Amino acid sequence: MIIDKLFKIVEEKGHVCVGLDTDLRYIPQSFLNKYSSLSEGIFEFNKEIIDATFDVAACYKPQIAYYEAFGVIGLIAYKNTIEYIRKKGGIVIGDIKRGDISKTAEMYAMAHLEGEFEVDFVTLNPYMGLDSIKPYLPYIKNKEKGAFVLVRTSNEGAKDIQYIETNENEKVYMKVGKMIQELGEECIGACGYSSIGGVFGCTHVEEGIELRKSLNKTFFLIPGYGAQGGTAKDVALYLTNGNGGVVNSSRGIMLAYKKFEDGEENFSKYARQETIRMRDEILNAIKELEK
C-alpha cells in the first residue's frame, strides 16, 4: 500500500509536505529570464526547490490550477514536475480536488492515476456523494495509489456546509469523515492507516483531538499551517504517536527567500531552510505534547 511508503518517509524525514503552488509572481524575474520558455522556467524553479528540500520533506503537492492557468504550457511544467519527483523516488500528491459523477470520475482517475499526469495520491471532493469517489478505488486497491478526500477544510467558507448539524447531532464534516474511513477499510496498510486519507485544516484547534480519536485509521493531509494561522502546536493534535499526517506549506516555503537581501539569488537555499525550520518546529511540538 502506498500509505506504508508515506508513513515510513514521515518517520524518516518529518511531516512537511511542500506545496508547489507555483504562481509566476513567486519566481524571481532574474531566474525566469534565463529560460527561453515559460514552461521551462516554471519547471526549473520547481526543480531547484525539490532538489533543495528532498531529504527533509515527506512529499510534494503541486496544485494543478496554478499550471492550468497557463494552458498547455503550464500543464507541460506540471507534467515535468511530477515526473521529476517520482523519478527521484518521492511521493506526489496531485492536488486536483476532483468531484463528479461516476463515469466522469472514471476519466479523472485515468487522467491522474496513470498516463502523463500520473501521481501517487490525488485530492478529491466527496460532496457529490461517495459514487464520485468509488471509481478511484481500483487504482487504490490494485495499483499502489491513494487519495486524500476533503473532509474539513481550512477556509472560512467551510462553515457554510461542513458545519451543518445532521439528524444524528453531529456536524456534516464528521459524518463525511466516518464515511471516508469506512470506505477505506479495504485499503489499510501495515502501518494501520488507509490509503484513502482525509484533508483536515489545522485552523480549528478545538476539534483536533476529537477528529484524531474518531478517525484513527485515516491518514491526514493537513493544510492551514503558517499563512492561514495554524501552528505547530495545533498540528501536533492531529497526529498519533508522532505520525498519521503530513502538513502542507506552499507560500511559506516558496516565498521564504523574500525575507533576505540575497533571497532572489538563493531562493532554493531559503526554501530548504524554511522546510527544516518547519519540520523541527512540528517535531518539538509533538515532543511537548507527549510530556
pLDDT tens digit string along 194-216?
Answer: 999 999 987 766 777 888 889 99
Q: Indicate if the pLDDT at residue 1 is higher than 90.
A: yes
- Nearest 5°: CA angle at 68, between 128 and 272? 100
Reported pTM: 0.96
pLDDT for 154 equals: 80
How many CA atoms does the CB half-sphere of 222 hold within 13 Å? 32
Contact 98, 69 (CB under 8 A): no
Question: What CA–CA distance (Å, rounded) separates 126 from 246?
Answer: 20
What are 197's three cell numbers?
A: 486519507
DSSP state of 125: -
As a CATH number, domain 2-290 is 3.20.20.70
Distance CA 76, CA 193 (A): 33
Where do the domains of the chain lie? 2-290
pLDDT recorded at residue 48:
98
Q: Check 8, 13, 97, 141 and give the catalytic one.
A: 97
Mark whether 97 is an active-site residue.
yes
Length of the chain: 291
194 in helix, strand or coil? strand
Separation CA 174–CA 209 (nearest Å): 13
| CB atoms closer than 10 angstroms to residue 288 | 11
Nearest to 272 by CA among 13, 55, 24: 55
